[in-house]
Amino acid sequence: MTTTRARILAGCEHVFDRHGFAASGMDRLTESAGVSTRTLYKHLGSKTELIVAVLDGRRARFFEQFDVDTVAALFDNLESWIDADGARGCLFLRAQGENGTSIAEVSSAVTAYREQLRRLVRRIVKVQTGHEDDTLTEQLLVLFEGATSAASYRGSTAIRAAKTAAETLVDKSRETTRSSNDALQASE
């Protein structure tokens, strides 16, 4: 059974995702959620609290789907996410762009997403290469976020291209590590 709060969040996420945060007025939000303004405020307090709750809910759903250990799975899941949700770019990036610098709560929600994404990619790098590599982690983050944005106008082609580039970077890192280990063993 869906709670009123969950119905509000689902309806409002849909509106924010399609129309932006600033352009989504209370009339549009309440209509999409199927509740009165009073009910919306009762369950979420303010538009800022609503935005934060929507972002937190999306982050939780996102990372449930992205519990993966390989670059291939990361990008495959991105493609599945975009196929199901649509390709309008990163909701967190849009929230930061519209509100994040002026609304601390929104900035915190976006930062929580970014930090969790970084931890995920760092873990994938360690699993796939056997060591931590901050440079590779950053490169993969840029590819992932770039694919998310580019998918809005290039579709799945952008995600597949980013996946190929990411796999190439991981393979190169493994080869470099292997060569370094071989050279170290030879010198012993």
Mean pLDDT, rounded, for 148-173: 95
The pLDDT-based confidence of 61 (bands split at 50, 70, 90) is: very high
Return the CATH class of domain 1-45: mainly alpha
- pTM of the entire predicted model: 0.87
Q: For the chain, what are the domain ranges?
A: 1-45, 56-175
CB neighbour list of residue 92: distance below 8 Å, 6 or more residues apart:
55, 58, 59, 109, 110, 113, 114
Is the pLDDT reported for residue 11 higher than 60? yes
Is the pLDDT reported for residue 87 higher than 80? no
CA dihedral 15, 73, 171, 179 (to 10 degrees): 120
Mean pLDDT, rounded, for 161-186: 82
**Cα distance between residue 127 and residue 125, in whole Å:** 6
The pLDDT-based confidence of 174 (bands split at 50, 70, 90) is: confident
Q: What is the DSSP letter of 132?
A: -
**Cα distance between residue 71 and residue 160, in whole Å:** 11
Domain 56-175 sits in CATH at: 1.10.357.10
Summary mean pLDDT of the chain: 90
pLDDT tens for 128-158 read: 999 999 999 999 999 999 999 999 999 999 9
Is the pLDDT reported for residue 173 higher than 80? yes
Residue type, 182: D
